[in-house]
Amino acid sequence: MDVQTLIKLLADVKQNNQIFFEDSKKRLLGISSISSDVTNENHSVLLNLNYHSHKTLKAWELVVLLKQCPAAAIIWVQNQKKRQQIFGIRFAGVQIYLK
């Protein structure tokens, strides 16, 4: 998923909803910050995770940060030493889950 697509998907959600990443083991990890990476002119945005849900970014905070990145940049989740690309989004109650 690229930055522009995620911004569009988050446009209609409540802006104070927290955003989490759901890993393959069904653990919920909070998104705490973003960083960017450029390799061979390919831009990537890295969503950095934490295990403490009280430090999770809200939808409006993530959108503000993503608007500073190139629209075509691909979004990855940085989980310890490995990266996983974001392919989808799921809504459950007041929480948003990236997958």
Per-residue confidence in pLDDT tens, the chain, 99 aa = 999 999 999 998 889 999 999 887 888 889 999 998 888 778 899 999 987 766 899 999 999 999 999 999 999 998 777 888 999 898 888 889 998
Q: 66 by DSSP, 3-state: which? A: helix
Q: What are the angstrom distances between the C-alpha of 45 and each of 1, 25, 26, 74?
A: 10, 23, 23, 6
Statement: the pTM of the whole predicted model exceeds 0.75: yes
pLDDT value at residue 53: 64
Q: Report pLDDT for 22.
A: 86
- Counting every residue written for the chain, the total comes to 99
Distances (CA, A) of 11 to 50, 53, 82: 24, 22, 29
What's the pLDDT at 4?
96
Closest among 29, 27, 17, 9 to 94, alpha carbons compared: 17
Chain centroid, CA 98 distance in Å: 6
